[in-house]
Chain A
Amino acid sequence: MALSNVLETPAAGFNFDNAARNAALEGLFDGGQTPKPLKTGTTIAGLVFKDGVVLGADTRATSSEVVADKMCAKIHYISPNIYCCGAGTAADTKKTTEILSSNLTIFSMNSGRNPRVVMAVNILQDMLYRYHGQIGASLILGGVDCTGSHLYTVEPYGDVDKVPYLALGSGDLAALGILEDGFKHDLELEEAKELVRASIHAGIMSDLGSGNNIDICVITKQGVDYIRPYQESEYKDERKMKYKYRPGTTAVLTEKVVPLKLEVVQETVQRMETA
């Protein structure tokens, strides 16, 4: 147990303290309406092909009706052979995947082994279940390890499913339609990339919360190909004005230099043991 988790896992068994605390907090707000966290509308998808796993995502992050980030990265690095797409609350997906990534890195260093996808899934499931659905992270986790290529989905309440293909996010229904129609076992690389691209594109077209560019991440035994962006939006805007001003644009009227007098108050020397 000490090898795998840096964070202190609580005592054995279920611990629903946080859920009870949240329920109590809800009562303190007017009409029980707790403040709403920022959600990014999203389309993410993944599928298993002949030689590995392809993950895809759009790149739009929204803050109500405004696009907050046109080039948001939704495919997160977990380990050299495992990547994770995240939908739901932006902060939750980012933080959860970062915690998972650092845990797995320390595990790799301690044990001398590459992490397996199923281990990442178990850590995620334990963490999300402990918070009883309060962490709004819907994740598609994909990777290739010594046991083969795997694709898993982990939902906010902590349920896990092993799947050959999946789409999540607000644009999932449109993307899933394309995937259901085109998916076959053991697709070739180019076909797989095209199918994922088409499904994310469908999500972008049919969902207001998804848009801009499409990122693709291909994971095989040989390595990872993170193509960002794989396809750029046709509605890209070129900035017409330059915002850099050359020195001298603003006239200098006066200049005054005041030297600072510093006094040495205390000096200590600490020996470093480098033997």
Chain B
Amino acid sequence: MEKHFTDSKVKGVSTGTTILAAIFDGGVVIGSDSRASIGGEYVSSKTINKVIQVHDQIFCCMAGSLADAQAVTKTAKFHLSFHSVQMEGPPLVVAAASVLRELCYKNKEELQAGFITAGWDRKKGPQVYVVSLGGMLISQPVTIGGSGSTYIYGYVDAKYKPNMTREECQQFATNALALAMGRDNVSGGVVHLVVITEKGAEHVVVPGDKLPRFNDE
């Protein structure tokens, strides 16, 4: 392992990633790439799952150190499950985001993980929350994260419209992730999308060869 490790800011396996979430009319799309890397040189997994289900209709995307992110989402899953037993009902999306925020803020010295939480609940419908590295929590209609996000801020700002249809939003998310994966070396693999609506959650995978191409020939 020593020979793979260079001056990367993240120790061990990093998700070095592109993640995004966007609200459409009636639901929310959350998605990510599938590459895990070590030291910015070695791809340790081409098929890592970064979209984790923390409750029936609440999903999280992770960025940063893979070990820290997996540990935090495991803890969050447990807390949410316990919370929903106590409340005798499904948790709110903001509750899931708050659990992650508490963990990230209280342990900010040791942890290196950021999250995008998206889901649907009865009180406020579809929502997207961002929990950054230091533990800031904000709500946004569309958000991107990870190292590959820098390459698509322009695209997202220009192309996102509120109240898109489900198909438009899915296409928007696929395009954005494909563009980021095309420019960022530590993002790649396949595109994992989860579409969450009142009815439930649906997982869509777009393999590498089916991704939209932009001036790639």
* A159 adjacent to B1 (CB under 8 Å): no
Binds A, one of B63-71, B89-97, B185-193: B63-71
Secondary structure call for the B interface: mixed
Which B residues are in CB contact (< 8 Å) with A203?
Answer: none
B177 at the interface (CB under 8 A from A): no
* B75 adjacent to A13 (CB under 8 Å): yes
Question: 1/0 contact trace for A77-89 toward B, CB 8 Å?
Answer: 0000000000010
For A19, give its contact among B74, B75, B110 (CB under 8 Å): B110
Question: 1/0 contact trace for B65-101 toward A, CB 8 Å?
Answer: 1111011001100000000000000000000000000
CB distance from A200 to the nearest CB of B (A): 18
Which A residues are in CB contact (< 8 Å) with B133?
Answer: none
* B48 adjacent to A14 (CB under 8 Å): no
Which B residues are in CB contact (< 8 Å) with A132?
Answer: 110
Q: Look across to chain B and name the residue whose beta carbon is closest to the beta carbon of A19.
A: B110
Q: For the side of the interface on B, what is the size category?
A: 20 to 34
CB distance from A25 to the nearest CB of B (A): 17
Q: Look across to chain A and name the residue whose beta carbon is closest to the beta carbon of B12.
A: A157
Query: For window 43-99 of chain A, which residues contact chain B by CB distance below 8 Å?
Result: 88
* A155 adjacent to B13 (CB under 8 Å): yes
Q: CA–CA, A159 to B12, complex, Å?
A: 9
Q: CA–CA, A152 to B32, complex, Å?
A: 22
B36 at the interface (CB under 8 A from A): yes
* A157 adjacent to B67 (CB under 8 Å): yes
Query: For window 1-36 of chain B, which residues contact chain A by CB distance below 8 Å?
Result: 1, 3, 11-13, 36
Do A157 and B110 form a contact, CB below 8 Å, given A13-B75, A88-B1?
A: no
CB distance from A188 to the nearest CB of B (A): 24
Question: 1/0 contact trace for A208-246 toward B, CB 8 Å?
Answer: 000000000000000000000000000000000000000
B107 at the interface (CB under 8 A from A): yes
* B36 adjacent to A129 (CB under 8 Å): no
Q: CA–CA, A132 to B110, complex, Å?
A: 9
* A129 adjacent to B107 (CB under 8 Å): no
CB distance from A5 to the nearest CB of B (A): 15
CB distance from B127 to the nearest CB of A (A): 26
Which B residues are in CB contact (< 8 Å) with A16?
Answer: 107, 110
For B65, give its contact among A13, A88, A157 (CB under 8 Å): A157
Q: CA–CA, A111 to B193, complex, Å?
A: 39
A158 at the interface (CB under 8 A from B): yes
Which B residues are in CB contact (< 8 Å) with A115?
Answer: none
* A157 adjacent to B1 (CB under 8 Å): no
Do A14 and B110 form a contact, CB below 8 Å, given A158-B71, A160-B70, A161-B36?
A: yes
* B107 adjacent to A159 (CB under 8 Å): no
14 contacts between A and B (CB under 8 A): A14-B107, A19-B110, A88-B1, A125-B74, A155-B67, A157-B11, A157-B12, A157-B13, A157-B66, A157-B68, A158-B71, A159-B65, A161-B45, A170-B3
Residues of A within 8 A of B (CB): 13-14, 16, 19, 88, 125, 129, 132-133, 138, 155-161, 163, 170
Q: Name the 9 nearest CB pairs between A and B, nearest first.
A: A157-B12, A157-B67, A159-B66, A159-B67, A158-B67, A16-B110, A129-B71, A159-B13, A161-B45
